[in-house]
Amino acid sequence: MTAPAQIQQDDALSPAQQLWTISADDMGAVDAIILERMHSPVGMIPDLAQHLVGAGGKRLRPLLTVATARLCGYKGEAHHKLAAAVEFIHSATLLHDDVVDESDLRRGKKPANLIWGNSASILVGDFLFARAFNLMVETGSMEALGILSNAASVIAEGEVQQLASLRNLAMSEADYMDVIKAKTAALFAAATEVSPVIAGLDDTRRAALRDYGLKLGLAFQLIDDALDYGGQQAALGKSVGDDFREGKMTLPVIRALAKADATERDFWRKVVVDRDQDDLDLQRAVSILRKSGALDETIQMARRFSVEAIEALDIFEESPLRDCLQNLAAYVVSRAS
Amino acid sequence: MTAPAQIQQDDALSPAQQLWTISADDMGAVDAIILERMHSPVGMIPDLAQHLVGAGGKRLRPLLTVATARLCGYKGEAHHKLAAAVEFIHSATLLHDDVVDESDLRRGKKPANLIWGNSASILVGDFLFARAFNLMVETGSMEALGILSNAASVIAEGEVQQLASLRNLAMSEADYMDVIKAKTAALFAAATEVSPVIAGLDDTRRAALRDYGLKLGLAFQLIDDALDYGGQQAALGKSVGDDFREGKMTLPVIRALAKADATERDFWRKVVVDRDQDDLDLQRAVSILRKSGALDETIQMARRFSVEAIEALDIFEESPLRDCLQNLAAYVVSRAS
């Protein structure tokens, strides 16, 4: 369970890159499974899947699975298939989200549904989701299957709740927390909880790793929601404003609304409820969110979850790998400042 | 394993209704699980699921699971959860099909996506699909999980292949058979194969029950595709012509095309490839399909699969339940004549 020495020395790498370096062999095996299992004689499936899954991407969730499996001293190979399953579940939800969000502005590449159509995105998403379960069955771990299938239904519940809250100024902070816990943090938590389970560790360590994933996921989503308004410093760029345009209620808006005067409430009603937005409205929204402290508060909350994620791993013995996982939790919130 | 005596006497009931009568207790338990597990604190989920799943419906697939489990002498309770899982998988695919088909003409009720929107149908479909796996995990049968998760990925593959073949006059009969085997027969086959597995029967009986479900599913889909053109005798009605309007290539069209003269080929190109259809075109299509013998041939093929389904059960001891399952196979093809 010792990490290659060089990763401690290379400070130029981010914690995520360091984790990749430590886990290079494992992630190579995961990649091979992903590429093999997205194959189908029905050509549209690998074409579309390749666009989304094959092109690399962060692979943050499967990386968490293989790294925590190592942290747990796991010596088998089931973590590779479980990590691939986690990535397939994530990819399936992305494909369906693209259709649901009706966005042509998703960060990075053009969404698959704008190339192959909504129908193909829905059905290939279903295929990847089913393939995730094929992989889990092959590991033979019913407990891991229980954890991931439960996460899958919780994710869908969160997505529906988010849909039902679109353009609803009355959405509470508690509802928002429920949504991000379900739609984002549940899969992070499952991705890290399966590791102690397949390694046969005790319930304390299982709970600790679940907690690490959950808090990391919450921090990750809060930062994502802050970054959608440019974070605290970044200039407005192309990747900003998706949530705003969709009328998605996120913590920055909920916090700003709580302090809004009558003029600001009218503004939010116009842009969120009526989705009546012109070019200057996003800039005005960002200005209100910064001035009110709502963006700062969102980032602060992410930092608190990040600290809790770091502390959750304290019961594991110190090691370069544990350091790396803890650094990762600090790193995800550093994106916003 | 004896059925209530009265079902043998009541000839007014169809085989499907007789199977319901024999399986009333089992199906009551399945219904209770379905209603309980479609529940969620996110209100849109039970509302939409109730519209599709809760209102009863034929429940043909779960009925096959509980009836074949009895045929196998199974004494436990796992068949109830597996049957509910089968219905959830079927419901999830229906919700996604509604979005994919863009149909406002689906038989029976108004499709859920036209009431709650495409996004809700996609996400609630995902939820039901995940819940199906939750239920399977609870049964503890990894073999049943393998069978049903494999069916789920095959179904998605078949749906994508069908999508890729839309409006393609060159679709071969072999491709069509692949599509209906995947999108329809695979779930019937899985629904009946899980029974000998949980009952611990030998591989011969497992293969026989899988074969029964597969052939029944093929017969069922062929008849459905014939009925979309009114079958051989029925008058044109509201429930006819969905496939035609979508430009879906089904066996009747493939067979008619093989015998078409130049004028008819031009007609099929206009209505299928260009989807240029006026009010009289469906009547003209039906007329060509009848005259060419394509509808008859489709029904004949369904009858052959129905006979194979019946014969597959011959290795089981004669019983009222076996009779009923065999009669059902004959019954599904009787719908078209």
Answer yes or no: is A326 within a domain.
yes
Q: What local confidence, expressed as pLDDT, does residue A12 receive?
A: 81
Residue of B nearest to A175 (CA): B42
Calpha distance A321→A20 (Å, rounded): 11
Answer yes or no: is B189 within a domain.
yes
Q: Phi-psi region for residue A3, left (φ > 0), alpha (ψ -120 to 50) or beta?
A: beta
Mean pLDDT (whole number) for A20-44: 95
> Quick check: A38 and A45 in contact, CB under 8 A?
yes
Single-letter amino acid, residue A15:
P
Sequence-separated (6 or more) residues with CB below 8 Å from residue B100: A118, A119, A122, A123, B159, B163
Cβ neighbours of A149 in B, within 8 Å: 130, 133-134, 136-137
pLDDT for A2 beyond 70: no
Range of weakest confidence among A187-196, A236-245, B175-184: A236-245
Answer yes or no: is B8 within a domain.
no
Q: From B184, B26, B10, select the one nearest B93 (Cα to Cα).
A: B184
> Quick check: B145 and B223 in contact, CB under 8 A?
no
Range of weakest confidence among A281-290, B47-56, B207-216: B47-56
Q: Which domain holds residue A173?
A: 14-334
Q: What local confidence, expressed as pLDDT, does residue A236 receive?
A: 43
Query: Do the chains contact at B99 and A120, CB–CB below 8 Å?
Result: no
Query: Do the chains contact at B145 and A133, CB–CB below 8 Å?
Result: yes
Q: What local confidence, expressed as pLDDT, does residue A23 receive?
A: 96
Q: Scan for tokens 């916003």, then name that residue.
A: A336
* Angle (CA) A297 A300 A305, round 5°: 130
User: Could you say which of A119, A131, A164 has the minimum Cβ distance to residue B42?
Assistant: A164
Count of the separate structural domains present in chain A: 1
Helix (H, G, I), strand (E, B) or coil at B282: helix
Distances (CA, A) of B20 to A22, A181, A258: 58, 42, 56
Query: Do the chains contact at B163 and A44, CB–CB below 8 Å?
Result: yes
Per-residue pLDDT of A197-223, as tens digits, reads: 999 999 999 999 999 999 999 999 999
Q: What local confidence, expressed as pLDDT, does residue A10 receive?
A: 57
Calpha distance A97→A88 (Å, rounded): 14
Q: Scan for tokens 């089992």, then name that residue.
A: B26
Q: Scan for tokens 């989200």, then name that residue.
A: A97
Nearest CA-CA distance, residue A211 and chain B, Å: 22
Calpha distance B312→B207 (Å, rounded): 9
Residue of A nearest to B156 (CA): A127
> Quick check: B27 and B66 in contact, CB under 8 A?
yes
Query: Do the chains contact at B96 and A126, CB–CB below 8 Å?
Result: yes
ipTM computed for the complex: 0.93
Residue of A nearest to B178 (CA): A42
Q: What local confidence, expressed as pLDDT, does residue A6 receive?
A: 42
Query: Do the chains contact at A161 and B42, CB–CB below 8 Å?
Result: yes
Calpha distance A133→B149 (Å, rounded): 6
pLDDT for A72 beyond 50: yes
Nearest CA-CA distance, residue B48 and chain A, Å: 11
Answer yes or no: is A7 within a domain.
no
Q: Other CB atoms closer than 10 Å to residue B207's CB: what's the count?
A: 14
Calpha distance B13→B7 (Å, rounded): 8
Calpha distance A172→A250 (Å, rounded): 10
Q: By percentage, how much of chain B surpasses pLDDT 70?
A: 91
Cβ neighbours of A45 in B, within 8 Å: 157, 160
Distances (CA, A) of B28 to A52, B59, B66, B84: 43, 12, 11, 11
Answer yes or no: is A5 within a domain.
no
DSSP state of B276: -
Query: Do the chains contact at A45 and B160, CB–CB below 8 Å?
Result: yes
Q: What local confidence, expressed as pLDDT, does residue A241 receive?
A: 87
Per-residue pLDDT of A96-139, as tens digits, reads: 998 987 765 444 578 888 888 899 999 999 999 999 999 999 99
Kindly provide the b/e burial profile for residues B39-77, where b requires at least 16 CB atoms within 10 angstroms of the residue's own CB: ebebebbbbbbebbbbeeeebbbbbbbbbbbbbbebeee
pLDDT for A57 beyond 80: no
The pLDDT mean for chain A works out to 91
Rounded (10°) CA dihedral A58, A62, A65, A68? -20
Mean pLDDT (whole number) for B18-35: 95
Per-residue pLDDT of A228-240, as tens digits, reads: 998 665 544 446 8
User: Number of CB pairs < 8 Å for A and B?
Assistant: 136
Q: Scan for tokens 């298939």, then name that residue.
A: A81
Calpha distance B42→A219 (Å, rounded): 24
Q: A114 versus B318: which is more confidently predicted?
A: B318
The pLDDT confidence band at residue B6, using thresholds 50, 70 and 90, is very low
Token readout for A287 is 């200005």
The pLDDT mean for chain B works out to 91
pLDDT for B237 beyond 60: no
Q: What local confidence, expressed as pLDDT, does residue B239 receive?
A: 63
Q: What local confidence, expressed as pLDDT, does residue A58 receive?
A: 81
State the best of A40, A124, A126 to mutate against chain B, taking most chain B CBs within 10 Å: A126
Mean pLDDT (whole number) for B118-128: 96
Cβ neighbours of B144 in A, within 8 Å: none
Cβ neighbours of B142 in A, within 8 Å: 137, 140, 142
Q: What local confidence, expressed as pLDDT, does residue B265 receive?
A: 97
Mean pLDDT (whole number) for A296-308: 97
Question: In the Cβ-directed half-sphere of B89, how many Cα atoms lie within 13 Å?
Answer: 36
Answer yes or no: is B5 within a domain.
no
Q: Phi-psi region for residue A56, left (φ > 0), alpha (ψ -120 to 50) or beta?
A: left
Query: Do the chains contact at B130 and A42, CB–CB below 8 Å?
Result: no
Per-residue pLDDT of A303-316, as tens digits, reads: 999 999 999 999 99
Q: What local confidence, expressed as pLDDT, does residue A108 receive?
A: 58
Calpha distance B73→B1 (Å, rounded): 7
Token readout for A180 is 């991000």
**H helix or E strand, kind and range, residue A333:** helix A320-334
Q: What local confidence, expressed as pLDDT, does residue A67 receive?
A: 98
Nearest CA-CA distance, residue B273 and chain A, Å: 18
Answer yes or no: is B6 within a domain.
no
Sequence-separated (6 or more) residues with CB below 8 Å from residue B307: none
> Quick check: A214 and A318 in contact, CB under 8 A?
no
CATH number of the domain that A34 lies in?
1.10.600.10
Q: Other CB atoms closer than 10 Å to residue A204's CB: what's the count?
A: 10
Answer yes or no: is A4 within a domain.
no
Q: Phi-psi region for residue A13, left (φ > 0), alpha (ψ -120 to 50) or beta?
A: beta
